[in-house]
A and B are shown apart, each in its own frame.
Chain A
């Protein structure tokens, strides 16, 4: 039995009827299946986490090299290696249910039917509170098309997932579009309960000696502090285009970074790449948000969501 934790009530938030101790969520793809962090942080203190993208069937992912460091960030092309939705329910969920944190199942597929199949499997998984649809992974394409890059295909999949899902639906947006608000609006209108943004930005790094891309896949998704201003801008734009709650993601490494997203329009935030180089970063951000509330006399952190002054 875990020791009782005094959660800071000022940090509590609610999204689509789900209560989170705080707005700090581990981002999909950087948080494994959660259990990897159990030795390093108190998972019971965490708002929640999104699992590595789960597909209906296990995926092998891309050949190495899969990651390369860049300035202020990194490129990855993992290719969604994962154990599959069934194995997640059988092997990971029973242990995860012992923790008082919200488990969001990130869902991935190559086609609409794949997504629906994964959701149908996961609907039986007790302890999952919501789905996050990964329609924006830049490292897996079927016929060269990323579903999340077009308002029409994104809305179509959202509608189908909405019907298949027994749980609230978060849709994760791609930044690799000309106008993120067009896709955001289409997805919100199609029934998404929440939008999370941004996924990684497509990038490339070249080995000048071999003249080959540094990643076997060629291109990869850029993440880390380098992308944060782009992500904050997109949250700011989307917050003005839709009424659903937003989860801000992109290069967050401290409480001040998280606050930028919240002020720009996010109700919660996800921490990704920073988990790699500081596995305890989520705890530090939670503490930092409490300190900010304290020093600024903020009674409810969510009162400053979308409080940005642009005059």
Chain B
């Protein structure tokens, strides 16, 4: 059940330059599953007009929810200004969720790139608490970005973690897809599910690698959203269908997603958005 409400800001602190953690009190019980998101903006603000889609990063108790975000444009710049005790307009929970198999013989490979980590922390917590054999691959642009994207929280879960940075300032130098590919080449992907969230090019590459090694792969996509609950039809992604682009070719990231089986995405058609 969606909740449309005013929530109160408890904190909105910088984790690293350009990255912030917003924690809000919804003053009512909110049920959120790993991978879901909310539409948020500062209360009564005229500019920007539209709310912003932010992944639910963490849930404390039943009413407090935190959102990890990168300050990138007008919407997140405005959110960065929101102070403790202020109100934010919020609609949640939105989108589908990461399906988690909890059986002991399951294997999970989580691949997070940059702020895509925001979508997978809850998933990783669930995996860490289960008997699933889980591996975490986390890539960021730099040490600063890794810190801002919640490296400390991911590390604290105790899952095997492989870290990369583009500039080599922390962990292995290069893209996160390189150690992922090595891992699968060693045969570690048999029977696994890959859960990926990150930049478009990263997810596209993860999808290719998953296909190559015949591993099930789910991706959580991002798109500019007008509403977040399915009415504006602005956030669509092109989906593979038989034949040319047709009526069933576009699915809404907000309602049919944001999580899709990687092999269903027409990666080349959507490239312009990213």
Residues of A within 8 A of B (CB): 29-32, 36-37, 39-40, 52, 57-61, 63-69, 71-74, 76, 78, 81, 83-84, 212, 216, 224-225, 273, 275-280
Contacts and interface: CB of A to CB of B under 8 A. Distances in A.
A276 B226 contact: yes
A69 B49 contact: yes
B49 A59 contact: no
Contact of A76 (B223, B226, B229, B272): B226
Given A69-B49, A69-B74, A279-B91, A36 B272 contact: no
Contact of A275 (B49, B89, B227, B247): B227
B49 A67 contact: no
Identify whether the interface residues of A are mostly helix, strand, loop, or mixed. Answer: loop
Contact of A64 (B41, B51, B236, B246): B236
Given A65-B224, A277-B41, 13 more contacts: A57-B247, A58-B247, A60-B245, A63-B238, A63-B245, A64-B236, A64-B237, A65-B223, A66-B234, A69-B48, A72-B46, A72-B47, A212-B272
A6 B111 CA distance: 53
A84 B248 CA distance: 12
A278 B214 CA distance: 43
B25 to A, nearest CB: 20
Interface of B: 1-2, 4, 41, 46-51, 74-75, 89, 91, 223-227, 229-238, 245-250, 269-270, 272-273
A63 B2 CA distance: 28
Given A65-B273, A72-B47, A276 B232 contact: yes
Contacts of B234: 66-67, 76, 78
Contact of A81 (B1, B48, B224, B250): B250
B91 A78 contact: no
Contacts of B2: 39-40
A63 B232 contact: no
B225 to A, nearest CB: 8
A36 B233 contact: no
A232 B234 CA distance: 26
17 contacts: A40-B2, A40-B91, A59-B247, A63-B250, A64-B236, A67-B234, A68-B224, A69-B50, A69-B74, A72-B49, A74-B226, A76-B234, A81-B236, A216-B272, A273-B49, A276-B226, A277-B41
